[in-house]
């Protein structure tokens, strides 16, 4: 149908298939190659064996809703009522799609920072809404936006702004000042903020993740979204959640109940346990990821890429021009044959691909020996 015509197979599926077919090292799709905390995995097994195998309540198991609310209070000082202000979803992806479908009328505009996570564009299209990109550009070694461009993007039809920080694929973690700029526009123009915070615990160099909902006047207009996949290295569990004022959560749940009705029960119990008991594991994982980031950054620099230091996420954004290449999509398709490695061409995450034509994204959430072997192979480009 017309609304979805521009969306084929996602680039992640395409590149992972290419990696499998060519036997390449997959630094494309961002999934870890090690498991999450052992006790959490045991909890999931116990839940399956213990009979937690029928439909849980639509909004999610009370156990997980309470654990999410406690986590928000403990980490950010944000109070959410687990009965009315927390909704469990099938990953952050469903939460984002349900939020956009629930809150946007056809023709409404949604501001997105580009490069954007690809499901945003599809969700906006499904709602019959219109995306208004604001481009993140390198400035002093990190990607950021021009406040004037953001202000100009907000017009009479703007309904919502989608904010992803820590940001995939650039690795930017918005500063308090940048978030203040976004918050001011939301308050002045009466916009809803939909925040994708799936990398909330994966920040580096002491950089702090600040949820937009903690800024003055923002809790009441923010749909705060996160999930277990990245925090606990279980991207296959697809267990996420929405925290927002009751009327907003109610609207999202109305849509969610007809997308999936509810999310799988065993994972919910295991994630509730992990949010309460495994945050030390997450701290150790964060430190390990920072070392992996440094390892892959050093390797990519030695090959000749221009490398942008990510302050968070699983990803390093690179500029391919110093190596004599111009088009990231062309290079990504040739990379298996040239070097036996797969990466993601960032240009597919822009409305106008020419704006991101020379970038390639590499994932570093992989075993050290995998990173080292990928770098060894990439030396063939130098």
Ligand X SMILES: *Cc1c(COP(=O)(O)O)cnc(C)c1O
Among 92, 193, 263, 272, contact with ligand X (rule: CB under 6 A): 92
Stretches 68-76, 234-242, 265-273, 331-339: which one binds ligand X (CB under 6 A)?
234-242
Q: Which of 203, 227, 231, 253 forms a contact with ligand X (CB under 6 A)?
A: 227
* Residue 201 in contact with ligand X, rule: CB under 6 A: no
Where does 127-241 have alpha helices with state H?
147-153, 176-189, 228-231
The site for ligand X, by CB under 6 A, has a size of 14
Mask of contacts with ligand X, 337-376, x by CB under 6 A? ----------------------------------------
Q: Which of residues 24, 26, 29, 93 is near ligand X by CB under 6 A?
A: 93
DSSP letter for each residue of 314-342: SEEEEE-GGGT---HHHHHHHHHHHHSEE
Kindly state whether residue 124 participates in binding ligand X, applying the rule CB under 6 A: no
Q: How far is the CB of 133 from ligand X (least distance, A)?
A: 16
Q: How many CB atoms sit inside 10 A of residue 229's CB?
A: 23
Find the binding residues for ligand X in span 131-170 (CB under 6 A): 164, 168
Distance in Å, CB of 321 to ligand X, minimum: 26
Residues 19 and 337: beta-carbon distance below 8 Å: no
Asked if 117 interacts with ligand X (CB under 6 A), we say yes
Q: How far is the CB of 239 from ligand X (least distance, A)?
A: 7
Q: How far is the CB of 118 from ligand X (least distance, A)?
A: 9
Q: What span, in angstroms and rounded, lies between the C-alpha atoms of 204 and 25?
A: 25
In terms of residues, how long is the chain?
382
Instruction: State the DSSP string of 40-71.
Output: HHHHHHHHHHTT--SPPPTT--HHHHHHHHHH
d(CA 89, CA 68): 12
Output 182 or 378, the one with its CB closest to ligand X. Answer: 182
Q: Which of 229, 266, 299, 328 binds ligand X (CB under 6 A)?
A: 229
C-alpha–C-alpha distance, residues 93 and 10, integer Å: 13
CA angle 313, 316, 322 (to 5 degrees): 165
The residue assigned the tokens 């190596």 is 323
Q: At its nearest, how many Å lie between ligand X and the CB of residue 155?
A: 25
User: Minimal distance in Å, beta carbon 96 to ligand X?
Assistant: 7
Please report where in the chains the tokens 């109610």 appear, as a residue.
250
Strand, helix or coil at 113? strand
Instruction: Please report how close the Cβ of residue 120 comes to ligand X at its closest, in angstroms.
Output: 8
Residues that bind ligand X (CB under 6 A): 91-93, 117, 164, 168, 196, 198, 227, 229-230, 235, 238, 240
């Amino acid at each position: 149908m017309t609304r979805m015509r521009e969306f084929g197979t996602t680039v992640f599926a395409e590149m992972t298939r290419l990696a499998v077919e060519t036997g390449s090292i997959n630094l494309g799709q961002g999934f870890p190659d090690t498991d999450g905390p052992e006790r959490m995995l045991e909890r999931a097994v116990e839940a399956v064996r213990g009979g937690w195998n029928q439909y849980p309540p639509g909004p999610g198991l009370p156990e997980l809703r309470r654990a999410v609310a406690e986590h928000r209070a403990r980490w950010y000082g944000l109070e959410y009522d687990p009965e009315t202000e927390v909704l469990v979803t099938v990953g952050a992806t469903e939460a984002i799609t349900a939020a956009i479908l629930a809150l946007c009328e056809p023709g409404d505009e949604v501001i997105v920072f580009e490069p954007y996570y690809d499901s945003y564009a599809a969700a906006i299209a499904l709602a019959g809404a219109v995306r208004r990109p604001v481009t993140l550009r390198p400035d002093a070694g990190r990607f950021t936006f021009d406040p004037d461009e953001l202000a100009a993007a907000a017009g009479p039809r703007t309904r919502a702004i989608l904010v992803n920080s820590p940001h995939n694929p650039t690795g930017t973690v918005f500063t308090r000042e940048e978030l203040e700029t976004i918050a001011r526009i939301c308050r002045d123009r009466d916009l809803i903020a939909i925040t994708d915070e799936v990398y909330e615990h994966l920040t580096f160099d002491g950089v702090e993740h600040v949820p937009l909902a903690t800024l003055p006047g923002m809790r009441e207009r923010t749909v705060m979204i996160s999930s277990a996949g990245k925090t606990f290295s279980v991207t296959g569990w697809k267990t996420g959640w929405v925290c927002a004022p009751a009327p907003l959560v109610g609207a999202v749940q109305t849509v969610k109940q007809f997308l999936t009705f509810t999310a799988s029960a065993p994972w919910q119990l295991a994630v509730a346990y992990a949010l309460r008991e495994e945050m030390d594991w997450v701290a150790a994982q964060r430190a390990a990821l920072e070392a992996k980031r440094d390892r892959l950054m050093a390797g990519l620099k030695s090959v000749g890429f221009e490398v942008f230091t990510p302050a968070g996420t699983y990803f390093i954004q690179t500029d391919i021009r110093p190596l004599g290449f111009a088009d990231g999509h062309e290079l990504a398709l040739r990379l298996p044959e040239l070097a036996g490695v797969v990466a993601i061409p960032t240009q597919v995450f822009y409305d106008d691909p020419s704006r991101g034509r020379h970038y390639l994204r590499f994932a570093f959430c992989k075993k050290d020996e995998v990173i080292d072997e990928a770098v060894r192979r990439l030396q063939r480009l130098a």
